[in-house]
């Protein structure tokens, strides 16, 4: 348990939030995509985070599994939103069905924007934690100078 572990934990937070940001970008970029390799419209994607015990001494790892010790964060899986696609009336669209409705992605731009701000703030919080760890380590290096 030292400052390097703290740096690693904060870095895992940065990486997780960056992945979240990438998925938000993908969702926004595909807000009008009606064709995908799997068929049908694009489906909104979201990441699920989980706490991952810091690798280290067995005792620490055991405690971390019980939720009593510092843990990194990692993306455990990427899930697709199960909400039904939006139906849009556009008879001229090549993907329209017999009644003139097109199935559009279930992406809500408003929701993505809010998520984006949340991801940005979390990223910044981790950056601040890294900066604090760095300052502390540098200050410790000055001991005895």
Q: Does 77 bind other proteins (CB under 8 A)?
A: no
Give CA separation, 36 vs 103, 108, 142, in Å.
Answer: 12, 18, 57
Enumerate residues 101-130 that contact other proteins by CB under 8 A. Answer: 118, 121-122, 125-126, 128-129
Contact between 50 and 22 (Cβ < 8 Å): no
Nearer CB in complex with other proteins: 59/94: 59
Q: Does 3 bind other proteins (CB under 8 A)?
A: yes
With CB under 8 A as the contact rule, the residue among 29, 78, 109, 140 that binds other proteins is: 140
Q: Does 5 bind other proteins (CB under 8 A)?
A: yes
Closest by CA position to 16, among listed 135, 118, 137: 118
For residue 16, give every residue at least 6 positions away whose Cβ sits within 8 Å of its Cβ, in sequence order, or none: 47, 49, 73, 74, 75
Contact between 27 and 112 (Cβ < 8 Å): yes
With CB under 8 A as the contact rule, the residue among 10, 102, 104, 107 that binds other proteins is: 10
Neighbouring C-alpha atoms within 13 Å toward the C-beta of 137: 12
Enumerate residues 45-74 that contact other proteins by CB under 8 A. Answer: 48-51, 54, 63, 67-73
Q: What is the rounded CA–CA span in Å between residue 123 and residue 16?
A: 9
Q: Does 30 bind other proteins (CB under 8 A)?
A: no
CB of 125 to other proteins, least distance (A): 5
Enumerate residues 79-98 that contact other proteins by CB under 8 A. Answer: none
Q: What is the rounded CA–CA span in Å between residue 11 and residue 23?
A: 19
Question: Which residues lie near other proteins (CB under 8 A)?
Answer: 1-3, 5-7, 9-10, 12-13, 16-17, 20, 48-51, 54, 63, 67-73, 118, 121-122, 125-126, 128-129, 132-133, 135-136, 139-140, 142-145
């Amino acid at each position: 348990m030292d400052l390097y572990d703290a740096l690693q934990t904060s870095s895992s937070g940065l990486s997780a939030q960056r992945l979240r940001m990438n998925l938000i970008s993908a969702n926004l970029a595909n807000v009008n995509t009606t064709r995908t390799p799997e068929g049908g419209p694009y489906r909104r994607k979201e990441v699920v985070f989980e706490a991952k015990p810091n690798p280290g001494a067995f005792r620490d790892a055991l405690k971390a599994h019980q939720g009593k010790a510092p843990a990194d964060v990692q993306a455990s899986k990427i899930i697709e939103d199960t909400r039904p696609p939006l139906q849009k009336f556009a008879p001229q669209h090549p993907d329209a069905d017999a009644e003139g409705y097109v199935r559009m992605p279930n992406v809500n731009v408003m929701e993505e924007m809010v998520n984006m701000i949340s991801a940005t703030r979390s990223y910044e919080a981790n950056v601040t934690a890294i900066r604090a760890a760095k300052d502390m380590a540098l200050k410790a290096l000055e001991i005895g100078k």
